[in-house]
Amino acid sequence: MADFIASIRRELSLRVDPSAPPVLDTLYLGGGTPSRLGSDGISQLMDVVRERVTIASGAEVTLEANPEDITDDAVRAWMTAGVNRLSIGVQSFDDRVLRWMHRVHDADTARRAIEVARAAGLSSFSIDLIFSVPESLERDWARDLDEALLIAAPHVSLYGLTIEPHTPLGHWRARGEVAESPEETYESDFLLAHHRLSAAGYDHYEVSNFSQAGARAVHNSAYWQGVPYLGVGPSAHGFDGRVRRWNIASYPAWGGALQAGKDPAEGEEMLTANSRQAESVYLGLRTSDGLRMSDATRSRVASWFTAGWLELVGDAENGRVRCTPTGWLRLDRLAADLTALPSHS
């Protein structure tokens, strides 16, 4: 813990001009499981951040947390340190699925974690759920959604299981020990979640995210709007409005570079006008706010409206185009096609 926090201090000293410390509207401790730092570790980490930046009054400060790390003492310490929102990695309320995922917690631990957070006064939280797991598990996805609704989590994030090469799951697939769910299951799980949560009053405001009124994730929404952000830590990404930078992914290599007085950045990309346009299309289509599109472009993608993948929001002249739930399932294709057209705005 001490080594990690010392490395964060070193990187912040590289990234932040002490004569012009930035004011943060949001702070997100995540991209992994920072709750493993414990209550003292998070308090020290927040102190290090405040040495270099100013956290605005009322800023959203989110901590990603494993259910097994959420205790009365830990939540109180996190709140004292300035954390006012949790992102809880529930993944499923089915113990068989959790064991298959090699998760440490079980469903009862997840339920208790949510009760503990609420009892401590931390009512702003999100839960993560994973859908489209292998059909051999016989997981009841509808039951997981019912649990989420019973808990009335202010925010729910849903992620379809993907199998990447060079991971344990990838090796299982290569050996024939597990098979991915078919695309039809992915689609039916996604659409069931949309219908169940929307019917319960949740706003499906981004392809993977649902919120009750006033509970949208401010930090994540900034990414989708192209707002600059500072990223520190192993594998972290940062964006200053023109250049995107990413750090060394390996924790030992990242920390070793900083200890040697070197910048741990592994690469960077200067965004061109074309790449900015492509990103604005893709990010716009990710959200329910959609994308402003010229009449000429709308006419060229009329088949998407006919297929039920896109819909017009507002009047024909000033409205925006957004994906329907079935359109979100085809987001990459739609964004690629739109980017190739010269006349959208």
The pLDDT, as a whole number, for residue 301 is 84
φ, ψ at 119 (rounded to 5°): -65, -30
- In the chain, DSSP assigns E strands to 23-29, 54-65, 85-91, 125-131, 155-160, 203-206, 209-211, 237-239, 243-247, 265-270, 291-292, 310-313, 320-323
The torsion region of residue 23 among left (phi > 0), alpha (psi -120 to 50) and beta comes to: beta
- Residue 245 included in any domain: no
My answer on whether 84 and 210 are in the same domain is yes
Residue 290 corresponds to which amino acid? G
The pLDDT, as a whole number, for residue 316 is 62
Picking from 203, 224, 245, the residue at the C-terminal end of a domain is 224
My answer on whether 122 and 210 are in the same domain is yes
Question: What is the residue range of 304's domain?
Answer: 273-339
Residues 141-172 pLDDT 10s: 999 999 999 999 999 999 998 877 777 777 77
Decide: pTM greater than 0.85: yes
Picking from 224, 255, 281, the residue at the C-terminal end of a domain is 224
Which residues does 115 contact at the CB level (< 8 Å), separation at least 6?
none
My answer on whether 156 and 21 are in the same domain is yes
Q: How many domains does the chain have?
A: 2
My answer on whether 30 and 110 are in the same domain is yes
Residue 73 corresponds to which amino acid? D
Kindly report the average pLDDT of the chain as a whole number.
92
My answer on whether 278 and 215 are in the same domain is no
The pLDDT, as a whole number, for residue 180 is 75
Element holding 34 (H helix, E strand): none
Residues 127-140 pLDDT 10s: 999 999 998 899 99
Please indicate whether residue 275 or residue 165 has the higher confidence score (pLDDT). 275
* Cβ count within 10 A of residue 78: 27
Residues 52-89 pLDDT 10s: 999 999 999 999 999 999 999 999 999 999 999 999 99
My answer on whether 219 and 333 are in the same domain is no
Decide if pLDDT at 314 tops 80.
no
Least confident span in 28-32, 210-214, 217-221:
28-32
- Please name which of 49, 128, 113, 116 lies closest in space to residue 82, comparing C-alpha atoms: 49
Tokens of 341: 């057209």
The pLDDT confidence band at residue 277, using thresholds 50, 70 and 90, is confident
- Residue 306 included in any domain: yes
Decide if pLDDT at 310 tops 80.
yes
My answer on whether 200 and 326 are in the same domain is no
Q: Tell me the three state secondary structure of residue 83.
A: coil
The pLDDT, as a whole number, for residue 318 is 65
Q: Tell me the three state secondary structure of residue 298.
A: helix
Rounded CA-CA distance 225/138 in Å is 38
Picking from 165, 198, 224, the residue at the C-terminal end of a domain is 224
The pLDDT confidence band at residue 239, using thresholds 50, 70 and 90, is very high
CATH number of the domain bearing residue 290 = 1.10.10
My answer on whether 199 and 291 are in the same domain is no
My answer on whether 168 and 66 are in the same domain is yes
Decide if pLDDT at 275 tops 90.
no
- Residue 243 included in any domain: no
CB distance 21 to 52 below 8 Å:
yes
My answer on whether 106 and 199 are in the same domain is yes
Decide if pLDDT at 231 tops 90.
yes
Decide if pLDDT at 317 tops 70.
no
Q: Report, as an integer, the average pLDDT of 299-320.
A: 83
- Residue 220 included in any domain: yes
The pLDDT confidence band at residue 343, using thresholds 50, 70 and 90, is very low
CATH number of the domain bearing residue 94 = 3.20.20.70
Decide if pLDDT at 342 tops 60.
no
- Please name which of 297, 285, 224, 321 lies closest in space to residue 26, comparing C-alpha atoms: 224
My answer on whether 215 and 279 are in the same domain is no
Q: Report, as an integer, the average pLDDT of 247-273.
A: 96
Structure-token match 């030992």, residue found? 252
The pLDDT confidence band at residue 227, using thresholds 50, 70 and 90, is very high
- Residue 130 included in any domain: yes
Tokens of 141: 């996805």
The pLDDT confidence band at residue 248, using thresholds 50, 70 and 90, is very high
Rounded CA-CA distance 215/152 in Å is 12
CB distance 50 to 90 below 8 Å:
no
My answer on whether 293 and 174 are in the same domain is no
CA angle 280–296–311, rounded 5-degree value: 65
Residue 262 corresponds to which amino acid? K
Q: Tell me the three state secondary structure of residue 55.
A: strand
* Cβ count within 10 A of residue 260: 8
